[in-house]
Amino acid sequence: MFSKILVANRGEIAIRVMRACRELGIKSVAVYSEADKNALFTRYADEAYEIGKPAPSQSYLRIDRILEVAEKAGAEAIHPGYGFLAENPRLGEECEKQGIKLIGPKGSVIEAMGDKITSKKLMKKAGVPVIPGTDQGVSDPDEAARIADSIGYPVIIKASAGGGGIGMRAVYEEDELIRAMESTQSVAASAFGDPTVYIEKYLERPRHIEFQVMADESGNVIHLADRECSIQRRHQKLIEEAPSPIMTPELRERMGSAAVKAAEYIGYENAGTVEFLYSNGDFYFLEMNTRIQVEHPITEVITGVDLVKEQIRVASGEELRFTQKDINIRGHAIECRINAENPLADFAPNPGKITGYRSPGGIGVRVDSGVYMNYEIPPFYDSMISKLIVWGMDRQEAINRMKRALSEYIILGVKTTIPFHKAIMRNEAFRRGELHTHFVDEYRRGID
């Protein structure tokens, strides 16, 4: 087992990883930007080193500086969290050169799954259902029109290198196709440095259902059930729950086996998520995230498995301590992402100083947060400042508990998504479990 781990991330996920280290008796090392001098994670770590200016390109994305610190501090492994370098295959390569273990899958797997066209092709070969569409880049307008016609409108133009909900556009009729292609190509080129786009069927009102997988380095792969993440704005998740309200043992068996098959086929190691879109009884591979995800706690809550500790154990060479039949789910969990955003102004970021803070507590409540009273939220990073997670014996209890916990949560000085979450917890369609990925848009149109 490692004796010291460097956490190449910030905020709540840095603390989450450090907590796992502490329970395992491992020392943790933080790296931080100038803007994060006073952040909680720098104090939680056993050692902390400043690595550069606030802009991520000058700090959290600087592989050279991070590895320098790892060397100096004597860290044997690096945990990348999510975002920043978590899906950058170069980090793994550079770590390997220095004899440092990266906690995650191999760089070649990260690279293959990071490209939507490549990953779709691989999944097709693995026998996992994919969304009907092209499995190569499309740039010729006539060809695009022919393809869209044969798939049938609506279609969606997606950047192969896309991520974070950026670089995709739904197209309802041929007239819009060329313009949509051009705009997606230019967004893709500027955001990801790769203008390649492809076309697939646009599923209307699908559900986003994903499976947590865990694999060791001896080839054992299991899944830890499902999460439903249909409550999104701008293709980004706001509320997640586990299990999905529509899940049955039969569907879980089918989707879970597809997720395991996907991971096995690519020689996956460590924690990962296979995302599916579900529509009218069918499910289709959407993408695989080759890292720990924001919403991992809801899976921990219903399975009792500490996913980050398992990640560390597996990376140190240990075999999985669970087989598929050891994984039992109990009750229902919900996570609300508390973002420093104004839900009434199209979720515009709202950084600033937290002038009052009291987090909720009591039975079944977990708060994973990186903030505290008088903390100044820097404007340079993600607006998510906290995750509120609850567990209940069943979905109804979880919803009522979330309502209660949200009413206890006090954050003053900045606008947050708390009022939005309260409204969703009261919403009848949500309470009935009638979810789909346009839920937030339709809901907002209803109250506008």
Residues that bind ligand ADP (CB under 6 A): 131, 156, 162-166, 168, 200-203, 206, 208, 232, 235, 275, 277, 286-287, 437
Which residue reads 């799954």 in tokens?
Answer: 113
Nearer to ligand ADP, 278 or 381 (CB): 278
Long-range contacts of 162-168 (CB under 8 A, 24+ apart): 162/116, 162/188, 162/191, 162/192, 163/87, 163/114, 163/192, 164/236, 165/232, 165/234, 165/235, 165/236, 166/191, 167/191, 167/192, 167/197, 168/235
Residue owning tokens 């939680």? 44
37 vs 234 by CB, closer to ligand ADP: 234
The nearest distance, CB 190 to ligand ADP, in angstroms, is 15
Where in the sequence numbering do the catalytic residues fall? 291
User: Phi and psi at residue 270, in whole multiples of 5°?
Assistant: 80, -165
Q: Which residues is 391 bridged to in the sheet?
A: 333
d(CA 177, CA 162): 19
Nearer to ligand ADP, 59 or 230 (CB): 230
Under 8 Å between Cβ of 367 and 308:
no
3-state secondary structure of 334: strand
> What gap in Å lies between CA 46 and CA 21, rounded to an integer?
10
Shortest Å distance, C-beta 1 to ligand ADP = 34
Least distance (Å) between residue 154 CB and ligand ADP:
8
Residue nearest to ligand ADP (CB): 437
From residue 73, how far is each of 7, 27, 36, 109, 143 by CA, in Å?
12, 10, 19, 29, 55
Closest CB to ligand ADP among 200 and 269?
A: 200
As measured in angstroms, the least distance from the Cβ of 134 to ligand ADP is: 12
Is the CB of 164 or the CB of 304 nearer to ligand ADP? Answer: 164
CB of 20 to ligand ADP, least distance (A): 25
